[in-house]
Structure 1
Amino acid sequence: MPAAFAESLQINLPRGATEVSNSVYSLHMYVFLVCVVIGVIVFAAMFWSIIRHRKSRGAVPAKFHDNVRVEIAWTVIPFLILIAMAWPATSLLLDMDNTDDSDLTVLITGSQWRWDYEYFDYDVQYRSSMATMRDQVYANLPKGENYLLEVDRPLVIPTNRKVRLLITSDDVIHSWWVPEFAIKKDANPGYINEAWTRVDEPGIYRGQCAELCGRDHAFMPIVVIALEPDDFEEWATNEETRLAEEREEEERLLSMQMTMDELMTLGESVYNAQCAACHQPNGQGVPGVFPALAGEGVSVDSDGLNDHIDIVANGVQGTAMQAYRDQLSMRELAAVITYERNAWQNDTGDEVQAADIHNYIQGDN
């Protein structure tokens, strides 16, 4: 009953959904118990000594220089206590870092402010972004049940399989953290950290980026769905088929011209989802932080179309402007650039097509 009560108050570590996370919980409770016992003994001895040897009872302080046996005791006993805690902790840490004999490997790449997942054993790669609507964030709509903890494309893994996770970043330091897996690994640019998990039960498990990685740090959630092995295989096969069809469709659409109305409609949708957080829905930006796009800058430069494409596709090094060439389709890139050059009374009249983006990126490579 006390344990259930404490859990209901959320004043302790969660037990987790994996063998490792439960081992972490058990180690935590073991060390906590050792500390409680030590605290009880020390404070009991202290208060007993204060009460038993108080001046009002006529206690007289003992006079001695040293006591070898006491000094040996207070050296040996703490040493043994440390060994008793360090041994299981070291064993568990070694187990947590042992990614040998994994059944599945997933590369996780953090970027501002989303996660990329690439399955080494399948032709599956996609990006996961927060699905909470901005109107909920800015108090225009009631907050949902999983506010700031929902994504459009969760990571999917099989149950009862050892899943090796390779964690890195393509810009700043992030941290991939799922409490129920007892995993919190930094994603460092230019470096790969390793972790692993084996989930026992199917379910949905949520986490967040645990490193302060920029202004939208709070909008970088993690969702993992664990499926039964057969269901996972079916999902992976369907994903391979769907992504192959998307690539074929992208190739087909490169040769198709979109009308200005189509470009502006799609561009507005992409802008509001990807750009409005920094540059503001009205294109005014944030003075001194994010440049305005309405009526100034590269968006209205008649000779700056290629510069505009380069900035959106490749980002601007050393700033918060990230590269979108791997995040958006050619049509989406063309549409959002067209929108930025014609919205807010910019009226340049420029129409950018998917083929223009493709040709520019191919030439850039």
Structure 2
Amino acid sequence: MRESSIAEVRSPAVPLAVTCGDPSGIGPELTLVAWSQRKALGLPPFYLLADPALVAARGRALGLHVPLETVSPGDAVEVFARALPVVRLDGRLTDRPGEPLADNAAGIVEAIDRAVADTLAGKAAAVVTNPIAKKPLYEAGFRFPGHTEYLAHLAARATGTEIRPVMMIAGPDLRTIPVTIHVALRDVPEMLTAEMVVETARIAAQDLRQRFGIARPRLAIAGLNPHAGENGAMGTEDQAIVRPAVEALLREGIDARGPLPADTLFHARARQGYDVAICMYHDQALIPAKALAFDEAVNVTLGLPFVRTSPDHGTAFDIAGKGIARPDSLVAALRMAAALAGGSGPAAA
């Protein structure tokens, strides 16, 4: 994969909006640690959408001496140098590290809603989301498969246009995109269509050009089946779905190759031949990305009318509140969001 390094992230003129994620996970403490390291890491200004009482309590429990100031988004840049700016949510959040609560769902969703609204209104440069857990949200009536789909819903509601979100995991050495995302593996073959592959690849190529500054993105299209189906010997989907999609992309002038066997797509020499790997299902894309750069990779949602990034890990309930969570992926997400929103060109995690 071709990478263009950026010597220094040029911060956007307005701050980044950071959501707290599930407060029972590591999101609040990662944000506290990231702010405390802001000078050493040269982080762009951001504010946290959260319950200030919860953030303060988590900081005290972990011995993190981080000053907080409750602000409006317009004051965050000025405050950021001396304190972590917190935009207060309407609802209170309960601080029980490691114990996800359905009662916190309203606040979790409110933070996402307000981060998107602030960004669309120009009060924030981009949305950076800390991880959420789906089960407590579902218990509270949340009807979206995950963050990605909900963000697309908010964007579509705000713009009045249909939005097709595309999840990309971007690390220093690999970018991957799953065509199907939060669906059971057994449902993938029936759900997958050539149109889905084409649309996903088209959005990927457009955002890589416009936001990442890659003039002619090279797309590697993975096969669904072992050995990309081996000419129909191990499943017909690669010949019937993936190959026609690649041919359609080539006719559009998009540099695409495939279907390619996934088991030989991610070694170091293979990665030099493409800018993003388009994969057919969630784990086909996320396993290699996380294996190569678990603490550095960033989840970027393509196809939205605003920049959204997120750490590529989950809520980590098992270590929440223990002070051992590493902020590397959140830091990478903040830096990439600033680079993409600030117009500093290609961004590496």
Q: Shorter-chain TM-score: what band?
A: under 0.3
TM-score (norm 1): 0.27
Select the structure of larger CA radius of gyration. Answer: 1
TM-score (norm 2): 0.28
